[in-house]
Amino acid sequence: MAVDDIKSDLNRARILMMQGKAGFEEAAETGVQGAALALHTVQDSADDDIEKAAAALKAADDEVDRVLSRVNAAAELADAYRDAL
Amino acid sequence: MPAGMEQVIAQMRRAKDQLAEAAVTAMRAKADFDEAYKLYFQLSEGSANPNIRRAASEAQTAAAKAGRYANLLDRAQRHYQAYFARVAPAANFGSPSGVPSGEKLLSDAGRRASRREQFLRQQVQKADDTQDSLSNFESNAKTLVDYFKKLPDPPGATSSNPVKVDPAPTTERVDVDNPITAVAMAAGALAIALKATITNVKKNRERKRRSGNES
């Protein structure tokens, strides 16, 4: 594969990663608002569904930082690969 | 349906819409990560450089975790739906349109009478169980209003505060012989006991700022 073709693919991948990152940040922003509203509106520690819903929202919130750090890591590694070409 | 419960349902519909929108947006991001992963993986096939292989692996994990995020939001929604189907079946919380049709309301009218009685008992029980729900109802409601003033307005939101609880007459009469029971119902239905999830919003702002500096 020619270096120019590789660079072209890397650029496409980078655009996809940044587009995905911006989209995911938007999702996380909307998600945290919905979660805060839901958690404040209904609280019932004795109810199984409410507890499971709250646990799912917490677990979702935990994933946000993980997604973003993976995206950043992928982009940096791809950059390092391109620099070595 | 008591006014308090109508308020709860209205807020939860808004929350449900936001969670659904977030899940869809996250899945679109996942599709982008998946496409990027395919490109990284193809490039790694013809390279001895470990970085591109690791980039592929990171992108793949990012896609999987974005999908997991969306699934968790969906799961939370399903549990809320199951909850409201139990405690307020007449509210049709799970209906796709969000607003039950007139025909649906009519067909529900018969069942509702007995369910209303059951619902009332449940809510009064809950209010009794929540130590401060009655005595702190008013102050808690004010705190809730204060909290939502801090939240940014959602797109299309009107200027009126959506959380303000007006003592407006309900269209549906609930037969309660004791006024304190009505208050207990509202308090129990709202189940107001504010916790520090505000920090979630703050955390998100900080994260957004951080990631904004990076990219």
Report the distance separating Cα B58 and Cα B49, nearest Å. 15
Report the distance separating Cα B151 and Cα B205, nearest Å. 11
pLDDT at B39 > cutoff 90: yes
* Res B3: pLDDT: 62
User: What CA dihedral angle connects A56, A62, A68 and A69, to 10 degrees?
Assistant: -140
Residue B131, Cβ density class (10 Å: 0-12 exposed, 13-18 middle, ≥19 buried): exposed
Residues in Cβ contact with B10 at an 8 Å cutoff, skipping those fewer than 6 apart:
B162
* Res A59: pLDDT: 94
Over chain B, what is the mean pLDDT? Answer: 65
Q: Which of A9-13, A78-82, B20-24, B152-156 has the lowest mean pLDDT?
A: B152-156
Q: Which three-class secondary structure state does DSSP give residue B66?
A: helix
B151-180, pLDDT tens digit by residue? Answer: 444 444 443 434 434 343 444 444 444 443
Give helix B3-45 / helix A3-41 axis angle, nearest 10°: 160
Residue with tokens 């729900």: B133
DSSP E strands, A1-85: none
CA distance B203 to chain A (A): 10
A3-47, pLDDT tens digit by residue? Answer: 999 999 999 999 999 999 999 999 999 999 899 889 988 888 889
* Res B159: pLDDT: 39
Residue B101, Cβ density class (10 Å: 0-12 exposed, 13-18 middle, ≥19 buried): exposed
Nearest CA in chain B to A69: B62
Residue B20 CA to its chain's centroid (Å): 9
* Res A72: pLDDT: 96
Nearest CA in chain B to A54: B76
- Residues in chain A closer than 8 A to B56 (CB atoms): 74
- Using CB atoms, pick whichever of B51, B59, B76 lies closest to residue A57: B76
Cα angle value A41/A47/A52 (rounded, 5°):
80
- Does A78 contact B52 at a Cβ distance shorter than 8 Å? yes
Helix (H) or strand (E) holding B84: helix B50-87
Q: Are B39 and A9 in contact (CB under 8 A)?
A: yes
Span B191-206, average pLDDT: 44
pLDDT at B89 > cutoff 80: yes
B130-150, pLDDT tens digit by residue? Answer: 433 433 333 333 333 444 444
Span B100-118, average pLDDT: 47
Band of the pLDDT at B110, cuts 50, 70, 90? very low
pLDDT at B108 > cutoff 90: no
Kindly state the tokens that stand for A84: 């070595």
Residue with tokens 């369910």: B115
Q: Which candidate in B45, B131, B200 is best for mutational testing of the A interface (most A CBs within 10 A)?
A: B200
The single-letter code of the amino acid at B55 is A
* Res B152: pLDDT: 46
Q: Report the complex ipTM.
A: 0.96
> pTM of this prediction?
0.63
B5-15, pLDDT tens digit by residue? Answer: 788 888 899 99
* Res A49: pLDDT: 94
Q: Which candidate in B39, B128, B208, B210 is best for mutational testing of the A interface (most A CBs within 10 A)?
A: B39
pLDDT at B182 > cutoff 70: no
pLDDT at B88 > cutoff 80: yes
- Residues in chain B closer than 8 A to A33 (CB atoms): 18, 151-152, 154, 201
- Does B207 contact A34 at a Cβ distance shorter than 8 Å? no
Report the distance separating Cα A66 and Cα A69, nearest Å. 5
Q: Are B123 and B188 in contact (CB under 8 A)?
A: yes
